[in-house]
């Protein structure tokens, strides 16, 4: 194909974790072609500088080498050439997360955003991708396969096709021999690809539960025909699940989602109960699938055309992540995968996290969204004191919006109507050529049009302001009673973890007992009143036996020096609990 960019990928050095990529550019820019690597991956909002993994790069034209020069952190420029140019580079890939690229002796997984250079100015051309087959490994991706007519019978390669660069990099690829399972939902084939240590994992149970989630979300957005929207981009939807105890998270794509989760969250063959940890996998599946509508198709304006070499700030992440976090559990409840009691306890857990984040009094939800790039994604020991999570607070505010819409409309409308309105007005034709994004300015209008409720003051108070959330009132609409319980147990107001024989004070919460007593983040607590500290459960039981009003002599190591602090344990730990009414 003349008017296309040809990418060829080869797994090049398994023990060294390297791929080799060759790009053939038929018509390079006459003034010197620029090639750029994204510096971030859509869905994970921070600069990651993927270009740093390119180790060597060459360009050739007409059989001889031509000059290629780095011109900024993410881009290279090739000397002028009137003839087609081939660029070849070796790229290191040992990122175990869902955000980058990886290869070892059992599997390869990569995102195009950290693998393929963009040909600047030609990003709207078709892309052909051929991947060299390896061992007896299989390949899994929702990237469309190239029609047989274009394949020159070369059995050494797998062939794929995309309409443009943006599409090429939004279909992650897994190669290896994972456990697999399929089901159909909304007329589309769904594949579950389970990589990592999947020994005795009950993939059939995951399959059945994932199908329930998918069916209910497809029906939510298309209640009449119950057709999934994915045929705008692929013939399938894939859940890539990598079992890895060192990471927990997911990343959404237009027709797939990549999940990484510990084995303790997966159901084992023969297990009848629903282990509490398994709910975390169901939440993740539900969350990432919902994103296929909300953020992959219904988008904030700034994400219509990503600028892949710089931060793309939006004050609306609280909508796209907060609403998604709210609905991830709503769908588990609606499908019966969790009961009301479990649902209420999940909400309660979020409320307790929010209440124990002093940063909620400093950063608004809009600021939290906008600053995700430099603050939420770059958290340190002081983050709980200085920022608020647009996931946690965003999901509680979504509950609040749902609550007031239901209350003021006498249950005629709900947040469901807002999301569905967004879908029909902004999302359903996104990959069919009609690209419209949501801006900050039209959110109140969207809610008004879809529910007839004016939420201007709500948004002003809870999104752009720091007004305390009336969570108790909101929950009453759902017949959940929130109560503040005094545990009567003393607390240091610190986030702690076990380290060596002591307890590491990771975060000292502002204005708490530890803060007021002079303890610092990084202190290693080793003894209380001369007795070696009990460091089980990350320090949860270190003050067992103490009562409110007691004094304790706390001994810590700080910068290798022993220090003592006399602490008055005059405050108790207070937590919220929920009851169904
Ligand atoms: Zn998300």
Distance 481 CA to ligand 1 centre (A): 28
Among 231, 266, 292, the domain boundary falls at 292
**pLDDT surpassing 60 at residue 388:** yes
Average predicted confidence (pLDDT) for the chain: 96
The alpha carbon of 250 and the centre of ligand 1 are apart by a number of angstroms equal to 7
Ligand 1 centre to CA of 466 (Å) is 23
Instruction: Using the mean position of ligand 1's atoms as its centre, give its distance from the Cα of residue 359 in Å.
Output: 21
Indicate which CATH number applies to the domain containing 508. Answer: 2.30.42.10
Q: Is the pLDDT at 190 greater than 80, yes or no?
A: yes
Give residue 391 CA to ligand 1 midpoint distance, Å: 8
The mean pLDDT value for 116-132 works out to 97
pLDDT value of position 18: 98
Give distance in angstroms: CA of 545 to centre of ligand 1. Answer: 41
Distance 108 CA to ligand 1 centre (A): 24
- Indicate whether 60 and 78 sit together in one domain: yes
- Centre of ligand 1 from the C-alpha of residue 321, in Å: 5
pLDDT in tens, 84-123: 999 999 999 999 999 999 999 999 999 999 999 999 999 9
Do both 220 and 73 map to the same domain? no
CA proximity to 446, closest of 423, 462, 428: 423
Instruction: Indicate if 314 and 418 belong to the same structural domain.
Output: yes
The rounded distance, in Å, linking the Cα atoms of 257 and 286 is: 10
Give the pLDDT of residue 142. 98
Q: Is the ipTM of this complex over 0.90?
A: yes
Measure 339 CA to ligand 1 centroid, in angstroms. 23
* 412 plus 456 within the same structural domain: yes
Residue where one domain finishes, among candidates 161, 176, 191 = 176
List Cβ neighbours of 215 (8 Å cut-off, separation of 6 or more).
185, 186, 226, 335
Measured in Å, residue 244 CA sits from the centre of ligand 1 at 19
Query: What does the block give as tokens for 411?
Result: 């249950």
Quote the pLDDT of residue 3.
Answer: 81
- Does 301 share its domain with 282? no
> CA 257, CA 240: separation in Å to the nearest integer?
6
- Dist. CA 188 → ligand 1 center (Å): 22
Distance CA 344, CA 399 (A): 12
Summarised one tens digit per residue, pLDDT across range 3-17 is: 899 999 999 999 999
pLDDT at 155: 81
Q: Are 387 and 260 in contact (CB under 8 A)?
A: no
Q: Are residues 426 and 303 in the same domain?
A: yes
Mean per-residue pLDDT, 323-327: 98
Residue with tokens 């061992």: 135
Helix axes 392-408, 443-451, angle to 10 degrees: 40
Q: Find the mean pLDDT for residues 492-506.
A: 95
Q: Give, as one character, the DSSP assignment of residue 468.
A: P
What is the 40 CA–ligand 1 centroid distance (Å)?
A: 16
Q: What is the CA radius of gyration of the chain?
A: 26
- For the chain, helix, strand, coil in percent to 5 are 30, 30, 40
**Separation CA 269–CA 247 (nearest Å):** 23
Q: What is the CATH number of the domain that holds 134?
A: 2.60.40.3650
282 CA to centre of ligand 1 in angstroms: 14
Q: pLDDT of 511-539, one tens digit each?
A: 999 999 999 999 999 999 999 999 888 88
**Interacting residues of 148 by C-beta distance below 8 A, sequence separation 6+:** none
Cα 251 to averaged position of ligand 1 atoms, centre (Å):
7
- The whole-number pLDDT of residue 146 equals 83
In 104-223, beta strands by DSSP E: 107-110, 118-119, 126-132, 138-140, 157-162, 173-176, 179-185, 188-196
- Centre of ligand 1 to C-alpha 285, Å, is 10
Flag whether pLDDT at 431 surpasses 90: yes
CA of 252 to the centre of ligand 1 (A): 7
CB 116 within 8 A of CB 169: yes
- What's the burial of 391, exposed, middle or buried (CB within 10 Å: 0-12/13-18/19+)? buried
| 243, pLDDT greater than 90 | yes
| CA torsion through residues 93, 96, 101, 106, sign | positive
> If pLDDT is split at 50, 70 and 90, which confidence band does 153 have?
low
Distance (angstroms) between ligand 1 centre and the Cα of 239 equals: 14
- What integer pLDDT is reported at residue 2 of this predicted model? 60
- For residue 274, the model assigns a pLDDT of 81
Ligand 1 geometric centre to CA of 484 (Å): 29
Query: Mean pLDDT throughout 430-449?
Result: 95
**193 with 275, same domain?**
yes
- Provide the token pair at 214: 């998918």
% of the chain at pLDDT higher than 90: 94
> What average pLDDT score do residues 355-368 get?
97
pLDDT category, 150, cuts 50, 70, 90?
low
For residues 390 and 262, state if they share a domain: no
**How many angstroms does the Cα of residue 328 sit away from the middle of ligand 1?**
10
Quote the ligand 1 centre to 291 CA distance (angstroms): 7
Max CA-CA distance within the chain? 83
Q: pLDDT band at 135, cuts 50/70/90?
A: confident
Q: DSSP string covering 30-97, please?
A: TT--EEE--SSBTTB-S---GGGGEEEEEEEETTEEE-EEE-SSSEEEEPP-SS-EEEEEEEE-B--S
Distance 67 CA to ligand 1 centre (A): 42
Query: How far does residue 98's CA lie from ligand 1's centre (Å)?
Result: 13
318 CB burial (10 A radius; 0-12, 13-18, 19+): buried
Q: 419 CA distance to ligand 1 centroid (A)? A: 16
Same-domain pairing of 212 and 107: no
Question: Is the domain of 389 the same as that of 506?
Answer: no
User: How far away, in angstroms, is 324 Cα from ligand 1 center?
Assistant: 6
Q: How far apart are CA 426 and CA 367, in angstroms?
A: 24
485 CA → ligand 1 middle, Å = 31
For residue 310, is pLDDT > 80? yes
Same domain, 511 and 558: yes
Has residue 151 got a pLDDT over 70? no
Q: Report pLDDT digits (tens) over 19-65.
A: 999 999 999 999 999 999 999 999 999 999 999 999 999 999 999 99
Q: Which of 292, 310, 345 is at the close of a domain?
A: 292
Domain count, the chain: 4
Q: How much distance in Å is there from the Cα of 570 to the middle of ligand 1? A: 40
In angstroms, rounded to a whole number, what is the distance separating the alpha carbons of residues 288 and 480? 27
Confidence band, pLDDT 50/70/90 cuts, at residue 246: confident
C-alpha 259 to ligand 1 mean position (Å): 11
Domain that holds residue 40: 4-176
CA of 249 to the centre of ligand 1 (A): 9
Residues 260 and 375 reside in one and the same domain: no
Q: What pLDDT is stored for residue 1 in this prediction?
A: 54
Cα–ligand 1 centroid distance for 26 (angstroms): 38
Instruction: Assess whether pLDDT exceeds 60 at residue 261.
Output: yes
Per-residue pLDDT reduced to its tens digit, 461-489: 999 999 999 999 999 999 999 999 999 99
Question: What pLDDT shows up at residue 273?
Answer: 81
In this structure, what CATH number is given to the domain that contains residue 287?
Answer: 1.10.390.10
Q: How remote is the CA of residue 258 from the centroid of ligand 1, in Å?
A: 11
């Amino acid at each position: 194909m003349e008017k296309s960019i040809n990418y060829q990928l080869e797994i090049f050095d398994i023990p060294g974790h390297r791929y080799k990529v060759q790009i053939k550019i038929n018509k390079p820019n006459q003034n010197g072609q620029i090639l750029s690597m994204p510096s971030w991956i859509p869905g994970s909002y921070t600069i990651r500088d993927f270009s740093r993994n390119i180790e060597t790069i060459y360009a050739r034209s007409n059989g001889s080498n031509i000059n290629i020069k780095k011109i900024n952190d993410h881009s290279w420029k090739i000397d002028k050439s009137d003839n087609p140019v081939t660029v070849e580079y070796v790229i290191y890939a040992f990122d175990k997360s869902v955000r980058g690229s990886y290869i070892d002796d059992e599997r390869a997984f990569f995102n195009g955003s950290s693998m393929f250079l963009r040909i600047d100015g030609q990003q709207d051309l078709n892309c052909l991708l051929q991947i060299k087959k390896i061992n007896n490994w299989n390949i899994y991706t929702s990237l469309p396969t190239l029609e047989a007519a274009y394949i020159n019978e070369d059995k050494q390669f797998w062939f794929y096709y995309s309409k443009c660069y943006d599409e090429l990099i939004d279909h992650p690829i897994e190669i290896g021999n994972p456990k697999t399972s399929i089901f159909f939902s909304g007329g589309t084939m769904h594949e579950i690809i389970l990589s990592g240590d999947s020994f005795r994992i009950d993939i059939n149970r995951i399959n059945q539960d994932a199908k329930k989630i998918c069916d209910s979300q497809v029906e939510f957005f298309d209640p009449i025909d119950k057709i999934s929207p994915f045929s705008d981009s692929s013939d399938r939807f894939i859940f890539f699940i990598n079992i890895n105890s060192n990471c927990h998270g997911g990343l959404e794509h237009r027709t797939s989602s990549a999940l990484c989760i510990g084995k303790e969250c997966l159901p084992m063959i023969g297990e009848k109960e629903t282990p509490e940890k398994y709910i975390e996998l169901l939440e993740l599946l539900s969350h990432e699938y919902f994103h296929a509508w909300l953020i992959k198709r219904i988008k904030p304006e700034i994400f219509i055309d990503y600028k892949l070499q710089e931060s793309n700030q939006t004050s609306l992440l609280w909508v796209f992540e907060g609403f998604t976090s709210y609905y991830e559990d709503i769908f588990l409840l609606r499908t019966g995968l969790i009961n009301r009691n479990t649902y209420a306890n999940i909400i309660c857990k979020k409320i307790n996290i929010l209440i124990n984040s002093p940063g909620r009094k400093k950063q608004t939800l809009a600021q939290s969204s906008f600053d995700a790039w430099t603050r939420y994604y770059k958290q340190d020991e002081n983050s709980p004191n200085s920022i608020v999570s647009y996931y946690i607070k965003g999901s509680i505010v979504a509950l609040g919006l749902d609550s007031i819409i239901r209350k003021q409309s006498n249950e005629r409308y709900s947040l469901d109507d807002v999301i569905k309105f967004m879908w029909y007005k902004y999302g359903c034709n996104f990959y069919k050529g009609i690209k419209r994004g949501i801006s900050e300015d039209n959110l109140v209008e969207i809610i008004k049009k879809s529910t007839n409720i004016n939420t201007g003051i709500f948004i002003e108070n809870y999104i752009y302001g720091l007004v305390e959330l009336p969570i108790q009132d909101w929950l009453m609409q759902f017949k959940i009673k929130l109560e503040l319980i005094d545990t009567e147990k003393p607390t240091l107001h610190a986030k702690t973890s076990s380290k060596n024989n002591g307890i590491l004070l990771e975060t000292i919460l502002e204005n708490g007992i530890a803060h007021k007593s002079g303890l610092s983040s990084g202190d290693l607590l080793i003894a209380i009143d001369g007795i070696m500290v009990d460091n089980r459960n990350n320090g949860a039981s270190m003050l067992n036996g103490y009562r409110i009003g007691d004094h304790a002599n706390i001994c810590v190591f700080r910068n290798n020096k022993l220090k003592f602090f006399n602490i008055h344990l005059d405050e108790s730990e207070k937590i919220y609990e929920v009851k169904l009414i």
